[in-house]
Structure 1
Amino acid sequence: MEQTKFERFLFKPFIIEAITKELKFFEPTEIQERLIPSILKGESAIGQSQTGTGKTHAYLLPLLNMIEPERKEVQVVITAPTRELATQIYNEAVNVISFSKEAISAKCFIGGTDKQRAIEKLKTQPHIVVGTPGRINDLVREHALNVGKVQTLVVDEADLMLDMGFIKEVDMIAGQMPEDLQILVFSATIPEKLKPFLKKYLENPKFTHVAPKQATAAKIDHVLVPVRHRDRIKLVHDILVNFNPFLAIVFTNTKKAADEVADALIEKGLKIGRIHGDLTPRDRKKMMKQINDLEFQYVVATDLAARGIDIKGVSHVINYELPTTDLDFYIHRVGRTARAGSSGIAVTLFEAADEDALNKLEKLGIEFINRDFVGGEWKDIDDRKRRQKRKKTVDEVDALAKSIVQKPKKVKPGYKKKMSREMEQIKKRKRRLSRKSK
């Protein structure tokens, strides 16, 4: 068996076998390196990191290692804000558990599924429960799920959990658990409104913030395309056809826009998948399976798909529009591509009204490439800020000339014309030097 650097954590043999044969991990990511030892000690922790940093396995591996199969009771509860993310975490857990010779059981409980069937499944309590807070809380209140002896509660994507109004349910679930509970909270950001929850349940937790070396993956080309009063949907269609991507996700801000874009692209002959909150749970589950089975080359989605969900093989991301409520979603959206060291392209359609948002993204270190798609071909275009830059340069040269040419103490007739001539000569010299330096 090939050696892996995860062996130094002294995991059980089945965990190491899963890491080597299934996960194919060799070296821990930064958040895994920093959190796995403290989780194994039973310490509570807060992990702040972006999506794609390996945080799911930072908690999943040590928690699976700590399961005592002979204890037929719930030992770990993992909560996630969306059904898709909960299902994804559950599937990752099952992949690792399949290498265990001892019987470790896991169950996934999410909203939109038959609650009575879920209750039937709980006649035997699983070791691990993964699910959405609303459904888990329902099962606890029905006395179907016994969380009285749980050792660890995981709150994944906590900031999104807060945005979606689920922290109340998480609070109610945690209130039914033992006082010496290990709580692991993972979040891309730690909003002020999340702090009361953290203060209530965590005493001196280990806080690990893995600051990104840059806002997005290094191998993403961020391309800006001006709309210029063109039909936005036609522009997206033409760009998608030109790219002929392995898998492209088109992001919109609303469910209504997602349906409009998807329907219009289908009319133009493209086979389109779609992900948004108005799909029924069954349709969402089916859609995720079809996408992961590569049945679609193009997917239209709202920001539901931007957080935490790992859709493999995304080569292109198209921002049909920039996020309006939270610019962090730009980072999450483009984070669907260029994963695990691969490259990707993120195209953003923009108008003049988006200037403030683009400036804020540039301050985060994102470097945009200015291009247009005309007549079926890409062409480089001038920086959208060129006029501002030119005006600024002109103003700077004027100020310099005025500072050098001073009004004489004793004025004579024609002194103003003389000053103007001197300033003009200085400005010409400065412009000439500037051109040479370029």
Structure 2
Amino acid sequence: MIAENFKRFELQPFLIEALSEQGFTLPTDIQERLIPAIRNGRDVIGQSQTGTGKTLSFLLPILDRIDTKKSEVQAVITAPTRELAGQLFDELKKLIAFCPENDQIHAKLLVGGTDRARAIESLKVQPHIVIGTAGRIGDLMDDQALQVYTASMLVVDEADQMLDMGFIADVDKVASRMAEDLQMMVFSATIPEKLQPFLKKYMTDPRHVQVEPKHVTATKIEHRIVPLKHREKIKFVVEIAQSINPYLAIVFTNTKEQADEVADAMTQAGLNVERLHGGLQPRQRKQVMKLVKEVKVQYLVATDLAARGIDVKGVTHIINYGLPKDLDFYIHRVGRTARAGMDGIAYTIYENHDQTAVEKLLKRGVKFTYYDFKQGDWIKLDRAPLGVPGKKKTSKQAADKSEPNKNKEQKRTGGKAVAKAKKVKPGYKKKARFKQAKEEQRQRRIKKKK
């Protein structure tokens, strides 16, 4: 069996079979460190970026502990967005599909934008596991349709995003009504200080595992910086999109207004494009994601909050209409491509005010290549464009470059170098030329006397 390495966790046979079917061979770092702790009922904090295998690190031990003889809710898994909740539910279904026929685990997806009355009707028989958004789960608790007081396992996925979007209060409401011996599992890319009061309220001596990726981004991503210069930005991003012919490209914008403007311009240019942002109705967002998963869309224009955590296969290109204010989002954006050993290219349109942000990304280890796009052709630049931060020259390289000028200057002045002003002041060039002329005149007088 392919998943033999997972057997040491003593998981139920159906889980090993499900992992083998999906081709999993070795547990990831976060799975190695958290699966045993979760199976033993311990509170955990898993701090890691996308793509580290965190989803299986909690789904596997939770499923392993479900008692199918009890028709009651035993685990609640919360996510900040409907899309992310849907993805978690899809992963769960792949695992429970291998349950024995007489020992089935039942799960429900509960998110906003769906028929509430139908959800209430479906909960007449309580599921073993609930996955959903905290707001909808809370509403169904208030309706007394969902009974979470029997559940002792709670997962808070993408906790930092929950905090950013103001959903921690909803999670708190759910947690407060669960079993007293609550085991909480929190997963997040970062653990902000403002999250600490919530963690301390529910967690006892949690096992905190922080997994740093070997590289800040996937090694097969090429990060291209393209200067905007004098060009009109929306027209320019359309030209870039037209030039790349992707399998699937995601164009990231910082606001939903920008997303609409860019998507409209791309549509007018005849491109196969959809948009995804918080201004869409739930039904529209669901339809867009369906089209994307069915590969019926070539370009998706999205905002960070709408797209974070979405795992879409086949993304070949990322286009950053602008750099995000929170540079962690840059890592999340480009992390949509170059998955499963594939290549990917991330284009970033650069403006002068982006200089500080680019410098910070360089310090994080992002390696940029510099390109310009002229008359439909990509032109690779030997160095960073003027004003764009790049790799700094070594002292030797700087000295080598200055040597020709130094020799030229010495020749003009009879071998004697002219001192330059220490500080750059208004009119310094004129003064330098005057000093140089005076020195040349003095040298001529000396030569004449000789």
Kindly report which structure 2 residues correspond to 1:27-426, keeping only aligned pairs within 5 A, or say none: 27-101=26-100, 102-324=103-325, 326-381=326-381, 382-384=383-385, 421=417
Is the 1:306–1:336 Cα contact (8 Å) retained in structure 2?
no
Rg larger in 1 or in 2?
2
Give distance in 2, aligned partners of 1:225 and 1:80.
Answer: 35
Which residue of structure 1 aligns with residue 407 of structure 2?
Answer: none
Residue pair 1:86, 1:130 contacting (<8 A) in 2 also: yes
CA distance in 2, matches of 1:288, 1:20: 28
> Counterpart of 1:341 in 2: which secondary structure?
coil
The AA in structure 2 aligned to 1:421 is A
Does the Cα contact within 8 Å between 1:51 and 1:307 map onto a contact in 2?
no
User: In 1, are the aligned partners of 2:276 and 2:307 still within 8 Å (CA)?
Assistant: no
Shift of 1:384: 3.2
SS of the equivalent of 2:93 reads helix
Quick one: structure 1 residues 122 and 351, their matched pair in 2 at CA, closer, same or farther if it must change by over 3 Å? same
Displacement after TM superposition at 1:419 (Å): 11
Using the alignment, how far apart are the partners of 2:118 and 2:146 within structure 1? Answer: 13
CA contact (8 A) 1:49 1:186 kept: yes
Over the matched positions of the two proteins, sequence identity in percent amounts to 55
Give 1:237 deviation, angstroms: 2.1
Q: Aligned equivalents of 2:64 and 2:417: distance in 1? A: 82
Deviation at 1:340, TM superposition (A): 2.1
Paired amino acid for 2:68: P
C-alpha contact (below 8 Å) 2:318/2:347 kept by paired residues? yes
Tell me the CA shift for residue 132 of structure 1.
0.4
Change (3 A) 1:390 1:184: closer
- Shift of the alpha carbon at 1:180? 1.2
CA contact (8 A) 1:79 1:155 kept: yes
Structure 2 counterpart SS, 1:78: strand
Change (3 A) 1:335 1:387: closer
TM-score between both structures, scaled by the size of structure 1 = 0.88
- Which ranges in structure 1 are unaligned for 5 or more consecutive residues? 402-416, 425-438
CA RMSD in angstroms, aligned pairs only: 2.5
Q: Is the 8 A contact 2:152 2:180 kept in 1?
A: no
Verify the 8 A CA contact 2:2 2:24 in the aligned structure 1.
Answer: no
What is the rounded CA distance, in whole Å, between the counterparts of 2:65 and 2:392 in structure 1? 63
Q: Show the counterpart of 1:428.
A: none
Offset of residue 283 of structure 1? 1.1
How far has the Cα of 1:347 moved from its partner? Answer: 0.4
In structure 2, how many angstroms separate the alpha carbons of the residues matched to 1:187 and 1:359? 25
Q: Could you tell me which residue of structure 1 aligns to residue 4 of structure 2?
A: 4
TM-score normalised according to structure 2 size: 0.86
Question: What CA distance in whole angstroms lies between the structure 1 residues aligned with 2:17 and 2:50?
Answer: 25
Shift of residue 418 of structure 1? Answer: 11
Structure 2 CA distance for aligned equivalents of residues 89 and 333 of structure 1: 19
Q: Does 1:17 find its partner at 2:17?
A: yes
Give the C-alpha shift of residue 387 in structure 1. 9.2
SS at match of 1:214: coil
Instruction: Report how far residue 420 of structure 1 moved.
Output: 6.0
Q: Figure out how many residues of one structure are paired with residues of the other and give that number.
A: 406
